[in-house]
Structure 1
Amino acid sequence: MVKHLLTGANGFVGKTMQAALPCVPLPVGLDLRDRAALNAAIAEIQPDMVIHLAAQSFVPASFENPHETFDINFYGTLNLLEALQSNAFKGRMLFVGSGDTYGRVPEDALPVREEHPLHPRNPYAVSKVAAEALCYQWSQTSGFEIVMARPFNHIGPGQSPRFAITDFARQVTEIRLGQRPPVLQVGDIDVTRDFTDVRDVERAYALLLEKGRNGGVYNVCSGREHSIRELLQRLIALAGVVVRIDQIPARLRPAEQRRMVASFEALHRDTGWQPLIPIEQSLQDLLNDWEKQLQ
């Protein structure tokens, strides 16, 4: 059986990967910044494939502590690459970057494709650009292959309520269960984003690991544009509640990108992947997940 090493196993996508693939996570508490411990873990596991998800991925935290973000996202990736090489790894690695690396994309350049210039606008995105470039270099000069993914927004059961759609699903469920007044607190909901179900994302990663081109970079996205307001209204309708929507100044952040949608043409061409789970199902599963947690 192929042994998949998974970093970031306790994150949103990591938990979904573990449910779908036989994965071996890094030991609990192991920090990618600890080179000796990482090297020992790789020597013990001897993986055939690697899915590298571990990262500091919260953008506000990257502004608060850019050094830590770089230490984890760039130097942590370098430490992983060196540990794999020193243990004679000959398999394939998937590096998971971010669609945030494109930065501000003009509307006439949508849907954004992989050849679009990278203009990162926060320390998190910069760290991912740097780590992706590092992985490309290693894909060309080391003894193993690396494929890079640039995922866009994803949603599904188990996501942290730090993210807008999941937070709305929690609020709507609390209202339906009578745990809060019928008032939804929101920020800027008149922007559009490209959402993919986390289970489709997991499937894309597995296919990229198997079929992606060495040194290739792939958008992982739905290719569909949804406004936050539209998805909020769908959640309200699915839950069968009547609510008032209150825009809270504290939740308003200047959204530099009013519209976003990307192309998964390269991913489809090389792996045959396409999204299968409709947004309605993702939203319903989110509501079901919150109902279990809140009852």
Structure 2
Amino acid sequence: MKKRLFATGLTGFVGRHIQSRLSNPDSKWDLLPAASTYDLSDPSSLESLWPELPDAVIHLAGQTFIPEAFRNPARTFQVNLQGTLNLLQALKSRGFSGTFIYVSSGDVYGQVSENALPIDEHQPPSPRNPYAVSKLSTEFLCLQWGMTEKWPVMVARSFNHIGTGQKESFVIASAARQITRIKQALQAPILEVGDIDVTRDFLDVSDVVAAYLALLEKGSPGQIYNVCSGKEHSIRELIEQLADLAQIEMKLYQDPTLLRPTEQRRVCGNYTKLQQATGWTPEVTTKQSLQAILADWDTRVLQE
């Protein structure tokens, strides 16, 4: 018999991929639909959300865009921290006692010296923007809730995701969209970019989803797990790969408005703890991911 899973944020980037994965007849999980529309910042909208009690919850929903967190930190905390508290209280009042995975961010580590790379879970967090502070605060809330309520609670610190369906406000999606427009002669062969000589740890969204499902099955309560590729790529390198795959030539223009304060120059995560607990390893290569992203934008650009 399949177990029941409820996930917040199903209309988002990762949420849509979870829906797709769990629509497979071989899935061990049935995805519970919300009984009504809801807003995590409105506790009253959560009161009758679960006609059936879920066996597990993956909490994906949140304000994830760092520039928006700088523009409106209060709203970011309202959604990420207060919204999670509202969710936990609603689940408690319904009698939930199952597995709860809070999806956090590798951004909570903040400034990390190069000799501390790759980053593992022993690295002390040092958040450097309001978004990361909100995520770290919510980690503590969820872990405390697990201890107090005796729920199996885990935190997934996910590093950068890439994949099909991502919003163009994220760097690789933005580059892929622009490259597709150049290829389709809808844009001059000039790519607007921010600081592309930083490195990041990019993981395909399908591997991210697989990691969350692996944690549901085999993760240890009260633990924090990095979800990452274990590799670092410069953004410039990935943009050049996209251009090569699309077979176009272009020039790069650095837009000052796309530069972020308190930028970490290099990021690379360590997923050993996750692998040892669950057996999970990344399966999608960077090239496979970039090819899929370009194919996705071929369709999306035509629909714009």
Fold-level similarity (TM above 0.5): yes
Residues 99 and 151 in structure 2, CA contact (< 8 A), matched pair in contact too: yes
What amino acid maps onto 1:31 in structure 2? Answer: D
In the other structure, the counterpart of 1:2 is: 3
Q: Which stretch has the larger CA shift, 68-77 or 191-200?
A: 68-77
Q: Cα deviation per residue 1:133-180 (whole Å; 9 max; x = unaligned)?
A: 011111112142111100000100000000111111011111111111
- Relative to structure 1, is the Cα distance of residues 276 and 179 closer, same or farther in structure 2, using a 3 angstrom cutoff? same
In the other structure, the counterpart of 2:72 is: 65
Would you say 1:129 and 2:163 are equivalent positions? no
Deviation at 1:253, TM superposition (A): 2.9
Would you say 1:17 and 2:13 are equivalent positions? no
Q: Which stretch has the larger CA shift, 53-62 or 157-166?
A: 53-62
In the other structure, the counterpart of 1:37 is: 45
Q: Cα deviation per residue 1:180-224 (whole Å; 9 max; x = unaligned)?
A: 111112121111000000000000001111111101100000000
Q: 2:284 aligns with which of 277, 285, 288?
A: 277
Deviation at 1:65, TM superposition (A): 1.8
In the other structure, the counterpart of 2:27 is: none
Residues 175 and 191 in structure 2, CA contact (< 8 A), matched pair in contact too: yes
Deviation at 1:255, TM superposition (A): 5.4
Query: 2-side partners of 1:52 and 1:189: how far apart?
Result: 31
Q: Kindly report which structure 2 residues correspond to 1:134-173, keeping only aligned pairs within 5 A, or say none.
A: 134-173=141-180
Query: 2-side partners of 1:248 and 1:35: how far apart?
Result: 41
Deviation at 1:82, TM superposition (A): 1.3
TM norm structure 2: 0.93
Secondary structure of 1:245's match? strand
Query: 2-side partners of 1:122 and 1:27: how far apart?
Result: 35
Secondary structure of 2:74's match? helix
Q: Cα deviation per residue 1:62-107 (whole Å; 9 max; x = unaligned)?
A: 1222221111111111111111111111211111011011111111
Query: 2-side partners of 1:92 and 1:246: how far apart?
Result: 47
Deviation at 1:238, TM superposition (A): 0.2
Q: Which stretch has the larger CA shift, 274-283 or 13-22?
A: 13-22
- Relative to structure 1, is the Cα distance of residues 45 and 36 closer, same or farther in structure 2, using a 3 angstrom cutoff? farther
Q: Which stretch has the larger CA shift, 236-245 or 261-270?
A: 236-245
Deviation at 1:252, TM superposition (A): 2.8
In the other structure, the counterpart of 1:26 is: 34
What amino acid maps onto 1:14 in structure 2? Answer: G
Would you say 1:221 and 2:228 are equivalent positions? yes
Secondary structure of 2:3's match? coil
Query: 1-side partners of 2:34 and 2:198: how far apart?
Result: 37
Residues 85 and 143 in structure 1, CA contact (< 8 A), matched pair in contact too: no
Q: Kindly report which structure 2 residues correspond to 1:178-197, keeping only aligned pairs within 5 A, or say none.
A: 178-197=185-204
Q: Report how many residues are paired.
A: 294
Q: 1:243 aligns with which of 247, 250, 273?
A: 250
Give the % identical residues: 49
In the other structure, the counterpart of 1:265 is: 272
Q: 2:217 aligns with which of 199, 202, 210?
A: 210
Residues 36 and 49 in structure 2, CA contact (< 8 A), matched pair in contact too: no
Residues 63 and 80 in structure 2, CA contact (< 8 A), matched pair in contact too: yes
TM norm structure 1: 0.96
Query: 2-side partners of 1:64 and 1:261: how far apart?
Result: 27
Query: 2-side partners of 1:253 and 1:75: how far apart?
Result: 26
Q: 2:205 aligns with which of 198, 209, 218?
A: 198
Residues 9 and 25 in structure 1, CA contact (< 8 A), matched pair in contact too: no
Deviation at 1:247, TM superposition (A): 2.1
Secondary structure of 1:41's match? coil
Query: Unaligned regions of 5+ residues in structure 1, if any?
Result: none
Secondary structure of 2:128's match? coil
CA RMSD of aligned residues (A): 1.3
Secondary structure of 2:275's match? helix
What amino acid maps onto 2:205 in structure 1? Answer: V
